Amino acid sequence: MARIAVTDGMAEAAVTRLEEAGHEVVLAHHSVQDLEEGALIGFDAVVVRSATKMTAGVIAASQGLRLIGRAGVGVDNIDLAAASAAGIVVCNTPGASTGSVVELTIGHLLASVRHICIGDRNLRAGEWSKKDLTGTELAGKRLGLIGFGRIAQGVGRVAQALGMELHSFDPYIPVEIAEAAGCMLHDDIDDIFSICTHITVHCNLTDETHHLVNEARLNLMTGVGADGIPCGNHLVSCARGGIVSEDSVASALQSGQLASAALDVFEKEPVGDSPLLSLPNFHGTPHIGAATLEAQSRVGLQMADSVISFLSGGEPASVVNPN
């Protein structure tokens, strides 16, 4: 029997699967101070989501830990180098929440171009602003996908069904994958901003991608669709906070360079006092990309299977750090 710490919650069915495999599961969230003082000592594995930060200090204080399971995709809350140095395997569940994030991204995009959030706010304030909320269609416009992994490809399929033309920047994706998906892959990210009026973000947060979406690139956008309609410029990110420069987005929204922006992820979470929240052409959600019942079930069960496999001497389904 192994001891497994679950610090950010887990689907009940997944906990049951771990327990039925003979393991002890302890569900409890810990402060950073508690973690650095050894709250994970005595555990063989820990399963985290985005709230728990597995820093080098936390990893050093977690003697005996053999596996860190990230129930989700992004691993920017885990110091992979420190984990590797300590001989700890890190795994994630990259495909489990894809559909949920795809749908939220498309939802934000549709809400942006049809002024759904502004219309709702005005209705609640007693305003019938029908004449002021003429939107634009996604059909006939170019969608620029920053990154072209699983989620971006899913967004692309829905966008194509709505009549959009796909363009992407991703230096790590073979051109054959983009071509098979009907997407034009570009070598220069600035090309995406120069020719696309609608941008969605789908890459990981790294030193390379920090503030990848910034003032200079937003200013390249023309606001005129491929169909000749002056549709404005629109930005959506359900990827990771920090890829988009929030100050740049706020300035672009205020100047009109961006007609709308929608974020599910922020540099600081919870957001607190952000200039974005006072702008009518911005709407956001509190990092709920994977927050569907279906995704939570898939994430939990896939992670449980990976943990069980590892503790039985096997290999987790998706290892993300060298050992």
Q: Specify burial of residue 216 (Cβ count, 10 A radius: 0-12, 13-18, 19+).
A: exposed
* Distance from C-alpha of 195 to C-alpha of 182, rounded to nearest angstrom: 17
* Overall pTM > 0.75: yes
Distance between CA atoms of residues 270 and 17, nearest Å: 32
Instruction: Answer for the pair 307, 67: CB distance below 8 angstroms, yes or no.
Output: yes
CA distance 168 to 178: 8
Radius of gyration of the chain (CA): 21
Orientation of helix 293-311 relative to helix 98-113, angle to 10°: 150
Give helix 98-113 / helix 116-124 axis angle, nearest 10°: 60
Please, what sign has the CA dihedral across residues 183, 296, 245, 231?
Answer: positive
- Using alpha carbons, select from 74, 69, 42 the residue that is nearest to residue 316: 69
Cα distance between residue 5 and residue 28, in whole Å: 7
How far are the Cα atoms of 146, 153, 176, 183, 223 from residue 157, in angstroms, in the given order? 15, 6, 16, 10, 23
User: Any idea of the CA torsion for 296, 301, 305, 306, to the nearest 10 degrees?
Assistant: 0
Q: Which residues participate in catalysis according to the annotation? A: 240, 269, 287
Kindly give the confidence (pLDDT) of every residue in the chain, 323 residues in length, as a single tens digit, with 9 standing for 90 and above. Answer: 899 999 999 999 999 999 999 999 999 999 999 999 999 999 999 999 988 999 999 999 999 999 999 998 889 899 999 999 999 999 999 889 999 999 999 999 999 999 999 999 999 999 999 999 999 999 999 999 999 999 999 999 999 999 999 999 999 999 999 999 999 999 999 999 999 999 999 999 999 999 999 999 999 999 999 999 999 999 999 999 999 999 999 999 999 999 999 999 999 999 988 999 999 999 999 999 999 999 999 999 999 999 999 999 998 989 999 87
The span from the CA of 192 to the CA of 213, in Å, is: 11
Query: Which residue ranges form the domains of the chain, and what is each CATH number?
Result: 3-96+293-311 (3.40.50.720), 98-284 (3.40.50.720)
